[in-house]
Structure 1
Amino acid sequence: MRKNIGLIDKIIRIAVAIFVAILYFIGTINGTIALVLGVFALIMIFTSFLSFCPLYLPFGINTRKKAGK
C-alpha cells in the first residue's frame, strides 16, 4: 500500500471531518444526512491517518511531494 496523500490533503480531510462533527453537535444536520456525512467524515479521517486513499489509485492521483524536492 503506497502512500498517496500529502500534508495539505490530510489537513483538508481532517478539517472537513471536524466541520461535519461540529454541524452534527450543534444540531444543523440530523437524520439520514447526518449518518451519511458522519460515515464520510470517518472515512476521511481514517484515510488521512493511513496516508492512503484507494479512490486515488484508478485515477493515478498522488498528492505527496516527490522525494528530494
Structure 2
Amino acid sequence: MTTNMGKADRIARLAVAAALLVLAFGTSVLASGLLFWLALAVAAVFAVTALVGNCPLYALVGLKTCRDCQ
C-alpha cells in the first residue's frame, strides 16, 4: 500500500481522533446516542488512516500531503 499522507497530516488526525474520544468518553457533550457513535466512527477512521499512512479519499481525488510519497 502506498503512503499518501505526510507526517503533519498523520499527527493532526491522531490529535483529532484523541480529542473526539475524550469528548465521547470523558464529557457529557456527546452523550446523546447518534453523536456518540458518530464521534467514535470518525475517531476510528482518523486513527486507522493516520497509523497506516494512507487515506482512501485522498487516493480518489489524487491528493498527497507528503513530500516524498511513492
Common fold by TM > 0.5: yes
Residue 26 (structure 1) shift: 1.5
- 2-structure distance, mates of 1:16, 1:29: 15
Q: Take 1:47 and 1:2, find their aligned partners in 2: how far apart are those partners? A: 12
C-alpha root-mean-square deviation of aligned residues, in Å?
Answer: 1.2
Structure 2, unmatched stretches of 5+, are none
> Alignment length, in residue pairs?
67
Q: Tell me the SS of whatever aligns to 1:20.
A: helix
Query: C-alpha distance in 2, partners of 1:66/1:51?
Result: 13
Question: Between Structure 1 and Structure 2, which shows a larger proportion of helix residues?
Answer: 2
Alignment of 1:1-69 (within 5 A): 1-24=1-24, 25-30=26-31, 31-66=33-68
- TM-score between both structures, scaled by the size of structure 1: 0.88
Residue deviations 1:13-64 (CA, integer Å, cap 9, x gap): 0110111111112121121111011111101000111000000112110011
Identity over aligned residues, as a percent? 28
Residue type of the alignment partner of 1:38: L
Q: TM-score, normalised by structure 2?
A: 0.87
Aligned-partner Cα distance in 1 for 2:57–2:67: 18
